[in-house]
Amino acid sequence: MRCFCCSSKPFQACCEPFIKGDKTPVTAEQLMRSRFSAYATAQYAYILDTYTQEKQQGLSVDDLAQSAQGAKWFALQVHDAQSEESAEPNTSATLHSDTVEFTAFYFEDKKMYQLHETSNFRVENGAWRYHDGTLHDDCGKVKYGRNLPCVCGSSKKFKQCCANKSH
């Protein structure tokens, strides 16, 4: 089965090892893709665990499940990934941070929506973690032609591919 993150790799060789805890993402983009796959497969404990410690405060697995209720995540497009290193204030430590711009597509009540975000990731205790993100103005309901190429990048028409996942 093709990975939920639309990488064209099998799920078992892409995001599943991260979600199961068998591997750790080595880039912010890998973490972002695995978090998308975790939303697609309702693995909310993984999502919670991959927030920075600061952002985990006040969140729970139940909160995440409740906020995602009714959404069926089905396609991901990664637009850009940027790396940055800087000195952490008042320390000799180096702060590693990345941004990843992406659009995630989902169905809710048989209608298609998109979430377009530039996410901020940090290395915390030697592992990449999601910190926060900025939503773009084009988030929300999307009208997409059934005969257009599928948003997942499969090269099939949307009606023959991901449109079937709205049911």
Mean pLDDT by 10 residues, the chain (167 residues): 93 98 95 98 98 94 95 94 58 68 96 96 94 96 93 92 84
Long-range residue pairs from 149-153, CB within 8 A, at least 24 positions apart, any chain: 150/75, 151/75, 151/77, 151/105, 152/6, 152/74, 152/75, 152/76, 152/105, 153/6, 153/8, 153/75, 153/77
User: d(Cα 122, Cα 128) in Å, to the nearest integer?
Assistant: 6
Would you state the pLDDT for residue 47?
98
Would you state the pLDDT for residue 91?
46
Would you state the pLDDT for residue 95?
58
SS3 24: coil
Would you state the pLDDT for residue 167?
66
Would you state the pLDDT for residue 24?
96
